[in-house]
Amino acid sequence: MTDHTDNALSTLGLREYLAALEGKPASQYQVIDKPISPDWMTTAVVTGLAKKLRSPVIRFEQVDGSPYPMVTNVCASLNQRFVDAAAANIHGVVVSGDVAPIAQCSDRFKTFSLRQLPQLKYSHAQTEPYITSAIVVGRDPDSGAHNLSYHRLMIMDDQRAAIYMTPNGHLDQIWHNFSALGKPTPLAAVIGTHPVWCYAALIAGPLELEDYDVVSGVLDAPLALTSSTIDAELLVPAYAEMILEGHIQPSETASEGPFGEFLGYVADKAERPVIEFTQVRHREAPIYQDIVAGQVEHLTMSSISLRARLHRDYFRDNPAVVEFFLPAPMTIFLKIDQTLQPGFDAQAMMDRLLENEAYLKQAYCFDADIDLRKQASVQTAIACFAQPAADVRIFENQDGNGVDPSETDGRTSKISVDARSKVPPTRSELPDAVMASFDLNEWIRK
Taking only the tens place, the pLDDT of each residue in 383-420 is 999 999 999 999 999 988 877 888 888 899 999 999 99
Identify the pLDDT of residue 79.
44
Average pLDDT in the 191-212 region?
79
Identify the pLDDT of residue 324.
92
The answer on pLDDT for 87 being more than 60 is: no
User: Three-class SS of residue 351?
Assistant: helix
Q: Are 164 and 152 spatial neighbours (Cβ–Cβ below 8 Å)?
A: yes
Q: Which residue has the higher pLDDT, 374 or 220?
A: 374
Identify the pLDDT of residue 75.
73
Banded model confidence at residue 301, pLDDT cuts 50, 70, 90: low
Q: In the sheet that 93-94 helps form, which strands lie side by side, from edge to edge?
A: 2-3, 93-94, 224-227, 235-237
The answer on pLDDT for 318 being more than 80 is: yes
Q: Are 143 and 207 spatial neighbours (Cβ–Cβ below 8 Å)?
A: yes
**Structural domain spans, the chain:** 2-292, 318-418
Give strand ranges (E) for 14-173.
Answer: 29-32, 57-60, 70-72, 93-94, 105-108, 130-131, 135-139, 146-150, 153-155, 160-163
Q: In terms of DSSP bridges, do strands 224-227 and 153-155 run parallel, antiparallel, or are they unpaired? A: unpaired
The answer on pLDDT for 268 being more than 70 is: yes
Identify the pLDDT of residue 9.
58
Identify the pLDDT of residue 261.
74
Average pLDDT in the 360-366 region?
96
pTM score, whole prediction: 0.71
The answer on pLDDT for 78 being more than 70 is: no
Identify the pLDDT of residue 80.
39
Q: What is the CA radius of gyration of the chain?
A: 25
CA dihedral 97, 101, 103, 104 (to 10 degrees): 120
The answer on pLDDT for 4 being more than 50 is: no
The answer on pLDDT for 339 being more than 50 is: yes
User: Three-class SS of residue 345?
Assistant: coil
**pLDDT > 90 fraction of the chain, expressed in percent and rounded:** 50
Nearest residue to 162 (alpha-carbon basis) of 204, 137, 113, 129? 129
Cα–Cα separations (whole angstroms), residue 75 to 67, 132, 311: 23, 13, 21
CATH homologous superfamily for 2-292? Electron Transport, Fmn-binding Protein; Chain A (2.30.110.10)
Give dist(CA 177, CA 179) in Å, integer. Answer: 5
The answer on pLDDT for 146 being more than 70 is: yes
The answer on pLDDT for 155 being more than 70 is: yes
Identify the pLDDT of residue 392.
96
On average, the pLDDT of the chain sits at 86
User: CB 88: neighbour CB atoms within 10 A?
Assistant: 15
H/E run at residue 415: strand 411-418
Q: What one-character-per-residue DSSP string does 146-210 give?
A: EEEEE--EEE-SSSEEEE---TTSHHHHHHHHHHHTT--EEEEEEES--HHHHHHTT----TTS-
Identify the pLDDT of residue 74.
83
Range of 1-15, 83-97, 210-224 with top mean pLDDT: 210-224
Give dist(CA 364, CA 370) in Å, integer. Answer: 12
The answer on pLDDT for 378 being more than 80 is: yes
Tell me whether the omega of the peptide bond preceding residue 237 falls within 30 degrees of 0, making it cis.
no
The answer on pLDDT for 262 being more than 70 is: no
- Using a CB cutoff of 8 Å and minimum separation of 24, what contacts does 400-404 make? 400/167, 400/358, 401/166, 401/167, 401/330, 401/358, 401/359, 402/164, 402/166, 402/167, 402/267, 403/261, 403/262, 403/263, 403/265, 403/267, 404/263, 404/330, 404/361
The crossing angle, in degrees rounded to 10, of helices 41-51 and 296-310 is 70
Q: Are 202 and 305 spatial neighbours (Cβ–Cβ below 8 Å)?
A: yes
Give dist(CA 121, CA 126) in Å, integer. Answer: 6
Sign of the CA dihedral running 394, 399, 404, 407: positive
Identify the pLDDT of residue 401.
80
Give dist(CA 276, CA 388) in Å, integer. Answer: 51
Banded model confidence at residue 3, pLDDT cuts 50, 70, 90: very low
Identify the pLDDT of residue 281.
93
Q: Are 257 and 268 spatial neighbours (Cβ–Cβ below 8 Å)?
A: yes
Q: Which residue has the higher pLDDT, 154 or 5?
A: 154
Least confidently predicted of 46-60, 81-95, 137-151, 164-178:
81-95
Task: Give domain 318-418's CATH number out of 2.40.50.100, 1.10.540.10, 3.50.50.60, 3.40.1670.10.
Answer: 3.40.1670.10
Helices (H) then strands (E): counts for the chain: 10, 24
